[in-house]
Structures are given as structure tokens and as C-alpha cells.
Amino acid sequence: MIIRQTEYFVKDKLDDDTSGHDWWHIERVRRLGGYLAKQEGADLFIVEMAVLLHDIADEKMAGSEASGMQAVQQWLWQLPLSRAESEHIVSAISTVSYKGGHGSPPRTIEAMVVQDADRLDALGAIGIARAFMYAGNRGHLLYDPALAVRETMTKQEYRHGRSTAIHHFYEKLLKLKDLLNTESAKKLAEHRHQFLEQFLHQFYREWDEAME
């Protein structure tokens, strides 16, 4: 019942999202999280609840980190959960976001699983599709070869600085494989990461042909 109620709550909030953080993103991450939880011995209920609510808390969706976490806490408070369960879910959610590499490290196996599942959905063919959805949603260019890749940046610069869809590969996506926490996720990430590299190779090949 708690899971079902939370599904309805999240679906209502994210169903029409066009930035790559819609309900189907949540559903894919839930499936990945369930698989990783079983492989790693994590609490499936905590993982599932944290996955369902993780983008409600995301500052990209909520406007600010504080308001996002407040929305999650308000939802959890009215559910028949123990304080320990609510705090565990909130703790797992608080470490999911990449934040330009400035996020806090996960402190529990459940938080590790949730973070890994979310990051796996940013890799591979789906990750590529989501990267271009997000770029379009935020008004970013497809690519600008005159624009330098940002090697170091603050969380604010990562969120609001000038970038492109292709630059996002270097500023986040290609880094994710080496930032995963669990062995199960690392195995799944291998072919997804390779697909990113293959895509970029083909992209530059076509770009250069067009520029000749």
C-alpha cells in the first residue's frame, strides 16, 4: 500500500516531464535498483521508496535542494513508517544527485544501490537519449566545438553554466562508470559506457564530414 500510494504521488508530479526525469525514468531506475538490491543484499523496500522519490527531491525538478527534500519529508511523514525507515529513505535520496561531482558519498548499501541505479540510466542508449532531452529542455546547443569542456566547476557552474549536449558526456556521463559503488552496477555499466564512446566516435566522424 505504501509503495502504491507513493507511485501515484510521484506519477502525478513527474508524468509530463520533458527533461529526461519522467515517470518512465523512475520505473527504469526502480527495476535496476531492485536487481542491484538483490545482488548486493540491500533492503528492497528502502531502495524502492528512495528510487520512487529521488527526483521529487532533485533541485533540477524542485527548484532548490531544500524545497525538494522538504516535499519528500512531508510525503513520508503522513505514511505509516517508523522514524528510522523515513530517515533511511531520506538519507539514501540525499546522496543520489551528481551535482557536478560535488555530491556527498552514499553512507549505506541502500544509498549506494539507489545512486548506482540512477547513474546506470544515464549511460548507454537511454542515457544518450536523456542527455539530448535534457539539453533541449534547458536550451543548450547540440554542440559547439569552440566551447571548452569544463574540467572543474562548482555545483552552481555545473547547473547554470554554458554547456552543450555533447559536452555533457565529458562533464558527467563518461565519468560515471568509475564512480559506481557496487560490483553489480559496474558489470552492467561496461557495455553502456562503451556505447557512449562508440556514439561519440560516430558523432565526430559525421560532424567532420559535414564540416569539410
What is the predicted pLDDT for the residue at 211?
65
Relative orientation angle of helices 183-211 and 109-120, to the nearest 10 degrees:
20
Length of the chain: 212
- Measure the CA–CA gap between 24 and 17, rounded to whole angstroms: 10
Rounded to a whole number of angstroms, the distance between the first and last alpha carbons of the chain is: 60
CA distances from 6 to 35, 49, 79 (A): 20, 8, 9
Q: What mean pLDDT do residues 69-78 have?
A: 92
Residues in Cβ contact with 82 at an 8 Å cutoff, skipping those fewer than 6 apart: none
Grid coordinates representing 3 are 509503495
pLDDT tens digits, one per residue of 139-159: 999 999 999 888 876 667 666
Instruction: Please give the average per-residue pLDDT across 177-181, as a whole number.
Output: 97
Residue with the bigger pLDDT between 166 and 65: it is: 166
pLDDT at 152 (0 to 100): 74
Mean pLDDT within 154-180: 87
Give dist(CA 155, CA 99) in Å, integer: 5
Look at residues 52, 51, 50, 72 and name the one whose alpha carbon lies nearest to residue 62: 72
CA 73, CA 57: separation in Å to the nearest integer? 9
| Nearest alpha-carbon partner for 33 in 92, 102, 104 | 92
Local confidence band at 73 (pLDDT 50, 70, 90 cut-offs): very high
Confidence of residue 210 (pLDDT cuts 50, 70, 90): low
* Overall average pLDDT of the 106-115 stretch: 96
* Phi, psi angle pair for 164, to nearest 5°: -135, 170
**Spatial distance between the Cα atoms of 111 and 36, rounded to a whole number of angstroms:** 11
Entry pTM: 0.92
Which is more confident, 167 or 210? Answer: 167
What is the set of domains in the chain, with CATH numbers?
A: 1-208 (1.10.3210.50)
Q: Measured at the alpha carbon of residue 196, what is the angle toward residues 159 and 19, in degrees to the nearest 5?
A: 40
